[in-house]
């Protein structure tokens, strides 16, 4: 069985296993904030084309004001989505950042061998 594929009921590989939340860890809080910001930017980029084709009706044409504020509305939608759980991208980013941080913190011997 290839690495990274888990059978039903089998434990998840360490790289994709949910990590316990340590709310008091400042590194985790910073990683979470950065990951949610990245996810919000990604979602805004994905949602922007969805709103470009919308036309307003004759009664309340938005004109220049709507053209200016529509991207801001899309950004707020994306931020709200990201902060309420998003699409799981932030969770994956946090997991990977914490894994990389743990790997970087592993001391190496003078000869380069892991201990």
Nearest to 99 by CA among 35, 39, 14, 26: 14
Q: Residue 38 falls within a domain, yes or no?
A: yes
Q: Residue 13 falls within a domain, yes or no?
A: no
User: What is d(CA 1, CA 61) in angstroms, rounded to the nearest whole number?
Assistant: 59
DSSP state of 108: B
Q: Residue 40 falls within a domain, yes or no?
A: yes
Q: Residue 15 falls within a domain, yes or no?
A: no
Q: CB neighbours of 63 closer than 8 A, spacing ≥ 6?
A: none
The parent domain of residue 31 ranges over 26-53+62-102
Q: Residue 85 falls within a domain, yes or no?
A: yes
What's the domain count of the chain?
1
Tens of pLDDT along 40-96? 999 999 999 988 877 766 556 667 777 788 889 999 999 999 888 889 899 999 999
Q: Residue 1 falls within a domain, yes or no?
A: no
Q: Residue 73 falls within a domain, yes or no?
A: yes
């Amino acid at each position: 069985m290839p690495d990274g594929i888990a059978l039903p009921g089998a434990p998840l590989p360490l790289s994709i296993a949910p990590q316990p939340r340590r709310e008091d860890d400042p590194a985790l809080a910073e990683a979470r904030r950065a990951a949610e910001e990245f996810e919000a930017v990604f979602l805004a980029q994905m949602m922007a084309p969805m709103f470009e084709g919308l036309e307003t009706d004759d009664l309340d044409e938005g004109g220049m004001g709507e053209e200016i504020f529509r991207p801001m509305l899309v950004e707020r939608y994306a931020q709200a989505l990201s902060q309420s759980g998003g699409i799981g991208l932030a969770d994956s980013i946090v997991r990977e950042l914490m894994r990389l941080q743990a790997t970087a913190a592993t001391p190496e011997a003078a000869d380069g061998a892991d201990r």
